[in-house]
Structure 1
Amino acid sequence: MQEIILETIGLGKSFKGFSAVTDVNLKVTRGTIHALIGPNGAGKTTCFNLLTKFLEPTSGQILFNGFDITKEAPAEIARRGIIRSFQISAVFPHLTVLENVRVALQRGLGTEFFFWKSGSSLNVLNDRALELLHEVGLEEFAHKETLNLAYGRKRALEIATTLAMEPELMLLDEPTQGMGHEDVDHVTRLIDRVAKGRTILMVEHNMKVIASIANKITVLQRGSVLAEGSYQEVSSNPLVVEAYMGSHGGDAL
């Protein structure tokens, strides 16, 4: 039997009477890539914000490994192993690629607030940082200032820093947004590679990406679940086709 790592039960969020998310029941299976898709304004990012407690749910429950985490703070959620990336680039531009990963790894040393310690005290993290950079294909850029990385490589670095937090569940918010075809293909292969032995929940607008790597897809429309299943199942669902054609001006799934 497949193990459920994350489950939402009747999850909802209202803003002054407007329901952004309504009765979302989501089950994410351990060891899979689960995609959350939908037209603009469907509630995808709101769902992510609820799962990581950047927003407080108005209704419903969030269960992680069977524990109710609905009332927990964002830091507690992260300590449990739910680690999120964001749509915008979130790296330190004037640190090297290696230093960015070391900052993420520093939590394991328990010295992240010891501001008086010298940078050399982090050298103990170099080997692990280089392992992570190798995993995302950035080892040769280890000593390059992050400011000078191409956009696609910055996104790869963000995945490395997310992995440094040792996530049990990775939440990736629009990981290929704003990329050209070559970068999209590279990051898609990267996500597929790092997903081995891990669980990923991702919001993604690019249907080619979804079709190639997602094991299961949940489609949202107007804050509610419209359909769920494999890419073949949801892409042939008349309700999903209508929702996308209406919002994307006739673009095919």
Structure 2
Amino acid sequence: MSDIILEARNLTKSFGGFVAVNDVNLRIERGSIHAIIGPNGAGKTTMFNLLTKFHTPTSGSIRFNDTDITNRKPAEIANMGIVRSFQISAVFPHLTALENVRLALQRGLGVSYHFWRSQKMLSDLDAQAVARLDQVGLKSYAHTRAVELPYGRKRALEIATTLGLEPELMLLDEPTQGMGTEDVGAVTELISRVREGRTIVMVEHNLGVVAELADTITVLARGEVLAEGPYSEVSRNPQVMEAYMGVSAEEQEEEA
């Protein structure tokens, strides 16, 4: 099997006359954490939606495990092992943490949305659900309704439900969006802990999180790839500094 789990080739997305993503090539290595970053309006969200099939590209192709998924639907690629999270927590607010994860686990039984199944059949999944909750530090919150969880723990619950779908590739959309320092640290540690045996692609605005987690970083600007590599290289790239901080290469040399 190839070391490249997901590959975008010459990916372009236009909305009318506006080109949001322009001829982007992206290769995600199996088992890595790959971050997509960039200033506001860089095309990060559009790129993420293309990779997860919420948008169809204007041109170009996407391959997952050497299979062309360019024209597949989101539900199809989820069944193939690609599962995404969203900027806004997407758990069921009035179900308990255990019930949320158990619902995700039902897919393995082929009864994903059969809410009328017997309580015994669903209860058989409780041990697996508790194990997933324990994995993300939520075991003690198993019987707490999602709506009652603090924001950071809701995001942890979302990751637990994502893990319940047994993804080969996890795509995390701004996992630390709107969090305080303590929650950011907890979610960063959580992502590091659950990466074993899977690949993670993340769009993330917090460069401290990116520096700690990402093996490879792709920087987008105006819909195009500006730079790519490990944080140690990307963070020193003059074009990246200009895109993020508005400091030109000449100004950087003067300050040096």
Q: TM-score, normalised by structure 2?
A: 0.94
Paired with 1:150 and 1:76, the residues of 2 have a C-alpha distance of 32
Match of 2:14 in 1: 14
Q: Are 2:2 and 2:65, in contact at CA under 8 Å, matched by a contact in 1?
A: no
Match of 2:252 in 1: none
Residue 20 of structure 1 aligns to a residue in which SS? Answer: strand
**Displacement after TM superposition at 1:2 (Å):** 7.4
Alignment of 1:20-169 (within 5 A): 20-169=20-169
Paired with 2:155 and 2:115, the residues of 1 have a C-alpha distance of 27
Superposed CA RMSD in Å reads 1.4
Shift in CA distance, 159/115, structure 1 to aligned 2, threshold 3 Å: closer
Residue 112 of structure 2 aligns to a residue in which SS? Answer: coil
Give unpaired runs (5+ residues) of structure 1. Answer: 248-253
Match of 2:251 in 1: none
Would you say 1:176 and 2:194 are equivalent positions? Answer: no
Alignment-mate amino acid for residue 23 of structure 2: D
Match of 2:5 in 1: 5
Residue 48 of structure 2 aligns to a residue in which SS? Answer: helix
**Displacement after TM superposition at 1:52 (Å):** 1.3
Paired with 1:209 and 1:74, the residues of 2 have a C-alpha distance of 27
Alignment of 1:152-231 (within 5 A): 152-231=152-231
Paired with 1:157 and 1:65, the residues of 2 have a C-alpha distance of 28
| Range with greater deviation from structure 2 (117-126 or 100-109) | 117-126
Q: How many residues align?
A: 247
Alignment-mate amino acid for residue 86 of structure 2: F
Paired with 1:134 and 1:115, the residues of 2 have a C-alpha distance of 24
**Displacement after TM superposition at 1:115 (Å):** 3.8
Paired with 1:199 and 1:69, the residues of 2 have a C-alpha distance of 17
Shift in CA distance, 175/142, structure 1 to aligned 2, threshold 3 Å: same
Q: Are 2:85 and 2:172, in contact at CA under 8 Å, matched by a contact in 1?
A: yes
Alignment-mate amino acid for residue 46 of structure 1: T
Residue 86 of structure 1 aligns to a residue in which SS? Answer: coil
Paired with 1:112 and 1:244, the residues of 2 have a C-alpha distance of 43
Match of 1:234 in 2: 234
**Displacement after TM superposition at 1:66 (Å):** 0.8
Paired with 1:113 and 1:154, the residues of 2 have a C-alpha distance of 22
Alignment-mate amino acid for residue 103 of structure 2: V
Residue 158 of structure 2 aligns to a residue in which SS? Answer: helix
Paired with 1:116 and 1:141, the residues of 2 have a C-alpha distance of 25
Alignment-mate amino acid for residue 192 of structure 2: D
Alignment-mate amino acid for residue 199 of structure 1: T
**Displacement after TM superposition at 1:199 (Å):** 0.4
Show structure 1 runs of 4+ deviating over 2 A: 112-121
Residue 160 of structure 2 aligns to a residue in which SS? Answer: helix
Paired with 1:150 and 1:46, the residues of 2 have a C-alpha distance of 29
**Displacement after TM superposition at 1:14 (Å):** 0.2
Paired with 1:112 and 1:79, the residues of 2 have a C-alpha distance of 12
Give unpaired runs (5+ residues) of structure 2. Answer: 248-256
Q: Are 2:98 and 2:130, in contact at CA under 8 Å, matched by a contact in 1?
A: yes
Paired with 1:81 and 1:229, the residues of 2 have a C-alpha distance of 26
Paired with 1:191 and 1:20, the residues of 2 have a C-alpha distance of 29
| Range with greater deviation from structure 2 (68-77 or 217-226) | 68-77
Alignment-mate amino acid for residue 83 of structure 2: I
Match of 1:251 in 2: none
Identity among equivalent positions (%) equals 67
**Displacement after TM superposition at 1:117 (Å):** 2.2
Residue 53 of structure 1 aligns to a residue in which SS? Answer: coil
Alignment-mate amino acid for residue 11 of structure 1: L
